[in-house]
Amino acid sequence: MTNKWNYQPPTQEQILKRDELSEKFGLCPAVCLLMIQRGITTEEEARQFLNPALRDLHDPFLFPDMEKAINRLNQALGNKERIMIYGDYDVDGTTAVALVYKFLEQNTWSSNLDYYIPDRYDEGYGISEKGIEYARENGVTLIIALDCGIKAIEIIAYAKSLGIDFIVCDHHMPGDVLPDAVAILDAKRTDSEYPYEHLSGCGVGFKFMQAFAISNGIDFLRLRPLLDLVAVSIASDIVPITGENRVMASYGIKQLNHNPSKGLKGIIDICGLFGREITISDIVFKIGPRINASGRMMNGKEAVDLLLARDFESAKEKSENIDQYNDDRRELDKKITEEAYIAIEENVQMQHDKIIVVFNREWHKGVIGIVASRLTEKYYKPAIVLTESNGYISGSARSVTGFDIYRAIESCKDIVVNFGGHTFAAGITLEEESLDLFKSRLQTFADKYMEEAQMIQTLDIDMALQLKEIDQKLINDQKRMNPFGPDNPKPVFCSFNVRDAGTSKLVGRELEHIKLDLVDDSSEEVMPAIAFGMYQHNDYIKSGQPFDVCYTIEENTYNNKTSIQLQIKDIRVGTKN
């Protein structure tokens, strides 16, 4: 696939502002320009960005219904009512349940707390009837729902008829009607004036506990250690790392690195991160998938059990179990992904459709979201992967930049049983007889709202550099932009007309990668780089002709020696600049 490079040289106004910030903060001009490109243009904005502070968190009582939620929780604790913390089975839901349960357990000394995670296969996403029956049988009179519940109109009404109240803490888009809960904490409510609407589900749970702490005179320092859970949720749920999320992620990453909870320490050790500086990327690719694997392969409650572990021995044992689930998940993921590729390659019509929809009733429900992501990456189209579940067709959707898959599914809401999610990811349930009509309606929507250009992967490039500009100060100043993630992505650079220093070579078991040694006209000093899976460019590179590279700047540690290395994202040959 050919990538389109999206690069715009800085304007004169940006250059002037860059130099102004560089002089004020002592940062290299390149990093100041990166901040300006992210909308950080004033001294105060730059100070807040470079120095995230807990004092910049918003007042949690700005949430609609926060007073009602706190009053009901205080009432339940005062009357020694049975309280159940209910959450989704993914990373965001399980970290949210662990956070709220742990804080209430540590700060109320209540013995009437319970937690519940629905089974992905038996109950499905969201508030389940089985969960309500469990609550009724165990004398629960208050359920705190985390990362779900905003669309659970009927089931919450049923719970209310049984004398069970709900406090809903969610971050998904509400429907036209809100459930009949005592309180609904969701910054995406149309009547919300809360200043930041991109919190994770765990983040909303944190704000709830922040308000609880304020109302009961509990020192914020007792809440701060739980920010490691919030950081894991922010990274794993792929919410923007801006505003409050940037503050909470920054402190949460510090907590993960210096004093993580026993449960998270167990995962850190089992996935080989011990002794390393943990980043958002490590959460996304190592910590998060292991927590998720519990809900995908067995039951998400095991993940909460781990996150609440009280001793290292217990955490170690539970981490080993979850690591095995993750290995099993990888095997299934690989198998189903290959089957999905074959289904697409054998279907000419599907190859021409703007939205890929694949269905196989034998596929494991726990990994189809991952498979949808793989299809989107390979074909650069929105993808929906479906399987059979509890008599229905159920599946996951993933999208590409600029196309709202949630809206696409919403356009079919009259023929689906249930759906929910975000712009780039959604879940869906429908009856099998509706599948063909669903596919047809989706394609009609895509034909209307999706341009061909959106199906060409675009590499957004922040800045062009000469190789001589890449030094340790640039690396150190770039680190001050951490944590990176959505809306604050790791900077992507390009360099034009670079050449092989004469020592580049193919590496890897199948010689599929290129270990590059680069020079350009700005400097004869060699810049090391690695280009994974780009073996096809080797002959051109070895010819000595100039080419362009797009990359991120990394630090590579080998034999206890750390050096700068470019990680190549794309190579463009045969161009002149």
User: 330-375 pLDDT, tens per residue?
Assistant: 999 999 999 999 999 999 999 899 999 999 999 998 899 999 999 9
> SS3 for 220?
helix
Q: Using omega within 30 degrees of 0 as the cis cutoff, is the peptide bond preceding 483 cis?
A: yes
Query: What fold characterizes domain 347-455?
Result: Diaminopimelate Epimerase; Chain A, domain 1 (3.10.310)
Return the closest-CA partner of residue 450 out of 384, 354, 361.
354
Name the segment(s) of the chain with CATH classification 3.10.310.30: 347-455
CATH 2.40.50.460 residue window(s) in the chain? 4-50+459-573
Which are the contacts of 270, defined by CB distance < 8 A and separation ≥ 6?
A: 290, 316, 319, 320, 322, 323
Residue 558 or residue 460, greater confidence: 460
pLDDT confidence of residue 423 = 83
CATH of domain 4-50+459-573: 2.40.50.460
Q: In which residue are the tokens 């904490």 written?
A: 185
pLDDT tier at 92 (50, 70, 90 boundaries)?
very high
The length of the chain is 577
pLDDT exceeds cutoff 90 at 135: yes
Residue pLDDT, tens place only, 491-525:
999 999 999 999 999 999 999 999 999 999 988 88
The per-residue pLDDT for 560 is: 76
Distances (CA, A) of 12 to 16, 23, 396: 6, 17, 45
* Per-residue confidence (pLDDT) for residue 420, from 0 to 100: 82
252-282: pLDDT as tens digits: 999 999 999 999 999 999 999 988 899 999 9
DSSP 326-394: HHHHHHHHHHHHHHHHHHHHT-HHHHH-SSEEEE-TTS-GGGHHHHHHHHHHHH-S-EEEEEEETTEEE
Query: Boundaries of CATH 3.90.1640.30 in the chain?
Result: 60-323
Q: Chain-centre distance of CA 127, in angstroms?
A: 22
Of 83-97, 385-399, 418-432, 469-483, minimum mean pLDDT range: 418-432
Residue 229 near residue 98 (C-beta atoms within 8 A): yes
In the DSSP assignment, the letter for residue 54 is G
Average pLDDT of the residues in 438-442: 95
Q: What's the confidence (pLDDT) of residue 558?
A: 76
Mean per-residue pLDDT, 85-113: 95
Q: Is the per-residue pLDDT at 577 higher than 70? A: no
Residue 3 pLDDT level (bands cut at 50, 70, 90)? confident
Structure token pair of residue 256:
């993960």
Q: Name which CATH class applies to 60-323.
A: alpha beta
Model pLDDT, residue 575: 60
> Shortest CA distance to 486 belongs to which of 227, 243, 193?
243
Does pLDDT of 470 surpass 60? yes
Q: What is the mean pLDDT of the chain?
A: 93
Give the pLDDT of residue 41: 92
